[in-house]
Each structure stands twice: as structure tokens, then as C-alpha cells.
Amino acid sequence: MRFRHKAAAGLATLLLPLSGLVALASPAQAATTATATYTKTQDWGSGFEGKWTVKNTGTTTINSWTIEWDFPSGTKVTSAWDATVTNSGDHWTAKNLGWNGTLAPGASVSFGFNGSGSGDPSGCKLNGGNCDGGPEVPGDAAPSAPGTPTASDVTDTSVKLTWKAATDDKGVKNYDVLRDGAKVATVTGTSYTDTGLTKGTDYSYTVQARDTADQTGPVSGAVKVTTTGGGDGGNPGGGEKVNLGYFANWGVYGRNYHVKNLVTSGSAEKITHINYAFGNVQGGKCTIGDAYADYDKAYTAEQSVDGVADTWDQPLRGNFNQLRKLKAKYPHIKVIWSFGGWTWSGGFPDAVKNPAAFAKSCHDLVEDPRWADVFDGIDLDWEYPNACGLSCDTTSAKNAFSSMMKAMRAEFGDDLVTAATTADATDGGKIDAADYGEAAKYIDWYNVMTYDFFGAWAKNGPTAPHSPLTSYDGIPQQGFTSAEAIAKFKAKGVPASKLLLGIGFYGRGWTGVTQSAPGGTATGPATGTYEQGIEDYKVLKNSCPATGTIAGTAYAHCGTNWWSYDTPATVKSKMAWAKSQGLGGAFFWEFSGDTADGELVSAIDSGLK
């Protein structure tokens, strides 16, 4: 219920370390702006190592690259790194990964592979054109620029675009539609309706023609579009970045953490939203998670947000009443009731058999007259649709998630509707298991759980940061990084402004470790205050201070224990990355792991500004 575990999945290519930021691949650029050169770096008779280098020789940034070549019969690629390499017979194709597709003018990038046989590549094409950077495919001119798009039928979430056709000596095959420089569609006609947008948000659209040889011509002029709506302060596309924290209702027990702690720590001034966790999902309905903690526990004057004690006969007490007092004191804070979580996600497959009835039950509970003013919306934390978490969902179709979110939007109207999602970006992994792109049309944002990638459930290691921002040499599983998760959601059509980066206010650790650097062996989980292998940041910062950083996350080796966790410094670097990606903000699990003066909340706040 507290933390999320990710199951491992295979990946065919080996990814080497990177130091730059991950960018979502955009449409292929014309080959006139780049070259591709091949070098055989090693040859051991029965096999060899080859390297391709792509260089941007133009004056504008390239956002993706694809190299194609032919090998003679008997020569083939056996393994590759820093690119996705596939083949159809003797014809081979290499595409950039999520992090190395963007090349500024003059920049270059290389990928390598091991091969068998003795042949050399021939017939090289880069993004459909000549690898030598020639002006065009021989005998075939690139298409002209289409007309600047015209926008019409603009709504909160969609816009219709039309443009004048491009010309080409051998015919135009289709058009790439670019939103903010990233391809969102390829169409054969001269119009396109873009959906799933964020209300009250600025977008820029251009169009690029592609001829029958897949050469792309110049990009059209840009049209700026601002969707209608917005101004409610709750949508991450509207300006202010979201800084959302989870408040766990069970924290009022052993952890002795209460709503008032948000005030005394200074965190209330810096957050924008609270996810109250969790409500249950059972019998096809949203239900109360812990009635005593939620609305019955009595608070003394000293414990209360406003210094006023609860009385025995008042209609609402507990966390709900304290949240009401917090919102009165800090009216900028919006509170969202989160349902499900690791322990209670097993109720979702049954509930979504009738999405409308499920949504109505949730709305009736969230808008109960006793606490309707406390909550500003609903969050659904289903771990995981059409996949396995604590239990396996074997009955829901891939579109069950979007059907649920569509019903929630219909029931909750303009209130906030959000969801916590997997960050498993492996090929065929949990992001691929549900239709998150379609569901994004109905939600305000996704809380992408970019933590718990690695931990001591693998009791013998290897030790690894549980919340890596990027990949690194020796990572135990490709596809288990924040950058790859965000890139995959973008590739599925989820707007960046609807994605929040997740931060864990805790560490995961092993014991029996002798190696300081990541990748060491262990004998089991390290001792934690509440659970083996887990400890709060507020404890670790003193008991096992950070000794290094890997993939944007701190790690520490003290005695025979090895921990990974985020510090104020790594949080700020992750916020800078989130801003560079255009994300809607960040969220964290959960308040009680922070220091008494809210170090990590402050780091998120300052990092997002």
C-alpha cells in the first residue's frame, strides 16, 4: 500500500551511460542537414565491431534519426547499443533511443554494434536521404513547404488544422503534423484535428510534407493556438507548476504525522496540491479507507491546524476536518482524494466492468455533504491495469483504463481528475499494457511513479538507485528510468504538461554490501524503521549520508549498508530536467518522510520556479 514495486522485463538492446537530457524523438529531418559515416572499429576474423556516427551538418536542430543500410548475405548484426537495430532480411534499420535523438547544429552521436561475417554496409540512407548529406535522393527533389496551417474549431481540448498542399516532382505521400516541434500525426490529406489537449494552454503547430521516397521538405510557417478554458488554477498547462504531495491517512498512527505538520514544516506555503491516500475500491465502488483517521479522530487544540480543539458532537473530525482548516488557512491548496494504491488496486477490475456506476459511486463519496468542500477532485491509483501488481489483472481489456477515466470526467465535470501511473517503460511493459494515451484526453495529469525501480526484493542485488533519472552503465534493467518513462508517455500522445515527475521521500537499501559504487552484491534488505529495505530521508540524511550520485540520484555506503535516495541537490537537478521537458510539475510520496523543516518540499518548490 505504501510503496510500489516494479517487476523486471527484458530488453533487446544495451544502453550505455548518458550525461545529457532525454528528449522525445520528433519527426525525421531532411537528409540535407546531416551525414552518417561507418567505421569498423574491431575485426576478429569471425566477427567485428562497427560504429555509425550521425552528424548534424545543418543550421537547425535535428530531433530524430534513422539509418538504413544493406549487408551482403552472411553478414549481420548480433547485438547493438545506443540505438534500436532491426532488420528485414539483409536490410538493416537503426533508430535513435529516447535520449540521443536530438542533435544541435554541429553535434554528432554514435552507436555501435557487434556483427558476424565480413561484409561492409551499402545503400546507406539517413532519414530517407543520402548518408553523404547530398541535397536530395538522386533524381528526386524534396517536396516544397506546405502552407501555414489555419486553426479553427478550437475547444478546451482540441483544434482543427487545415493547410495548402505542398508540391513535389514525383508526388506528396503524406504530411507530418508537428505540435511544439514534436510529431503528433502523419496524415494523407490537408487537415487534421488534434485532440487530448490541455485547456487554457498555448500550442504551436507546423506541417512538413513527405514525398514518395520519404524525403521531407521544409517545415511550414507556424500557427499559435490557445485552447479555451483554463484559469482554474488546477491545470498544469495553465502556468504554475504543480507541487503535489501525498498525505497518507495511516501516518497519524505510528508515524505521528498530522495535517498540522504541513504548517509547522513550512510545506503548506510551498505545495499546490495534496493527494489524500487512500480510499478503498471494493464491490464495484469507491469506499472509505480508514473511517477513524479520515473523519472521526478527535484533535486537541495543540494538535489542530487552527489551535481549536474538536468537540465530541461536531459533525466532522479527523483528517478531513484538519484539511478543511488547512485550506482555510492556505486557500491556494487543492486537495484530491486518491483511491486504490498498492494494496487496494485489486478492486479496480471488477469496478470498471460498469465504469459509469463506479464513477457515480466515487462522486457520491467525494461529494458527501459532510466533506464536499474539502475535496477538489479525485485521483485513481490503479496498480496496474491489464498487468500485475500485488495481484494480476487478468480480466480487464486494454481500454478499461480509458473507459474508467472517461466516465470519471463525465461524472466529475470540471473538478480535478488525475491518476497515478506505472513508470515501466520496457518494451511490452506496463505502460504498453493500458491505453494511457487515449485516457489522457480525460485527465488533468498523470502522477508517473518514477521510483521503486530497484530495491531489496532482489535481496542479493545488484545495488542500484531506486529512482534513476537516466540510464547508466550497468543498470540492472533497461526501461526502468524516469527519462524513459516520460519519453514513452509522450510518444503515446500524452502532452508533457499532463505529466508529473515522481520523487520518493525515502530510500531503499541493502545490507551485506562491501562495494561502495552501485552494482554490488548484498545479503538482504537493510533494516528500516517501519519496513525492511526502506527508510525515510529524514533518517538517512544523518544515519547514512550520501557518498555519491548515479543517474541523478544519491547513494550512500555506510558500514555494510547501501542506500539510494534523493537529496535536496538531486531533487533540484530533477526539477530542472522536468522543466526542460515541459512537464506539468512534480509530486512526491509522501510528506512524513521529509525533515521537520521540509527540506525536500522546499527543494521541489525552488527547483520548479
Active-site amino acid positions: 383
* Residue 122, burial from CB neighbour count under 10 angstroms (0-12, 13-18, 19+): exposed
Instruction: Specify whether the CB–CB gap between 175 and 187 falls below 8 A.
Output: yes
The amino acid at residue 244 is: L
Residues 533 and 509: beta-carbon distance below 8 Å: yes
What is the spatial distance between Cα 214 and Cα 541, in angstroms, rounded to a whole number? Answer: 55
Within 13 Å of residue 385, how many CA atoms lie on the same side as its CB? 28
Q: Are 222 and 148 in contact (CB under 8 A)?
A: yes
Handedness of CA 205, 209, 210, 216 (dihedral sign): negative
Task: For residue 233, give the C-alpha cell.
Answer: 488554477
Beta bridge partners of 87: 92
Secondary structure of residue 50 in the 3-state scheme = strand
Contact 393, 385 (CB under 8 A): yes
Residue 141 has, within 13 A of its CA and on its CB side, a CA count of 10
Give residue 583's identity as a one-letter amino acid code: L
Are the beta carbons of 174 and 243 closer than 8 angstroms?
Answer: no
Where are the extended beta strands (E) located within 302-451?
334-340, 377-381, 416-421, 445-448
Nearest to 98 by CA among 59, 51, 60, 65: 65
Residue 377 grid coordinates: 477532485
The identity of residue 584, as a single letter, is: G
Segments in 330-396 forming alpha helices (H)? 341-344, 348-351, 355-366
Cβ contact 110:65 at 8 Å: no
The residues, any chain, with a CB within 8 Å of residue 256's CB and separated by 6 or more, are none
Q: Which residue has the cell 548484498?
A: 522
Residue indicated by cell numbers 470526467: 409
